[in-house]
A and B are shown apart, each in its own frame.
Chain A
């Protein structure tokens, strides 16, 4: 079974703090994704990565950056957290072909005070 894990289920940070959200997948998938999920807005793509050290902006990259130093790990970074970044963050991974689906981690609920 594919396993996608996220470093924390719940996280509380203060405005201005630097926040790291970690995601690890164990199936040697090439593609990894970060979404945020907000009520009434569904899932919105923040960043994705096709391969190690490669990254592409999604639909809402502002205020975020990412790092993919190893194939299995994709980190989402909030350089200076703000209250409007309070959300559920979901990581996903998939193999490189379009026939494959995305597998999701359990999510990290981040609250920024």
Chain B
């Protein structure tokens, strides 16, 4: 079945790069997303990538997609305290408009 896996916690020092990893099982995924959830708030779309792309960069964010290994990563350069949040990886099949979410990775910033 459809499944999205990601580690639950990541700790990074302020100023370092954060890399959050995600694996998915359905090779027919058409879109892959990264959402950010700050404490007490809903999910906010950070970025997304089409399945025919390998990389997408947007300011401090870099998304890498390895379609062969079904592996998606989000790199945050120069991590700041404001980046502290839960990051959700998600995939869309393109059919029936459902999005499958991972359980979320809590990013903790060390001073």
Partners in one complex: yes
A residues with a Cβ closer than 8 A to B are: 4, 31, 35, 40-43, 45, 48, 50, 58, 90, 92, 94, 96, 98-99, 101-107
Contact at A42–B97, with CB atoms within 8 Å?
no
Given known A96-B97, A98-B94, A99-B31, contact A107–B42 (CB-CB < 8 A) = yes
Interface residue ranges of B1-50 to A (CB < 8 Å):
8, 30-31, 33, 35, 40-45, 48
CA distance A101 to B99 in the complex (A): 9
Q: List 14 A-B contacts (CB under 8 A).
A: A4-B42, A41-B103, A42-B88, A42-B101, A43-B104, A48-B97, A98-B93, A98-B95, A98-B97, A102-B43, A104-B42, A107-B40, A107-B41, A107-B42
Chain B contact surface mostly: loop
Contact at B88–A40, with CB atoms within 8 Å?
no
Please give, as numbers and ranges, the residues of chain A lying within 8 Å of B103 by CB-CB distance.
40-42
Contact at A104–B43, with CB atoms within 8 Å?
yes
CA distance A92 to B40 in the complex (A): 16
Question: Nearest chain B CB to A29's CB is how many angstroms away?
Answer: 11
Closest to A48 in B: B98
B residues with a Cβ closer than 8 A to A are: 8, 30-31, 33, 35, 40-45, 48, 88, 92-95, 97-99, 101-104
CA distance A50 to B95 in the complex (A): 12
Given known A98-B30, A99-B31, contact A42–B42 (CB-CB < 8 A) = no
A-B pairs, top 10 by smallest CB distance, nearest first, are A42-B103, A104-B42, A104-B43, A98-B94, A43-B101, A106-B42, A101-B45, A107-B42, A105-B42, A42-B104
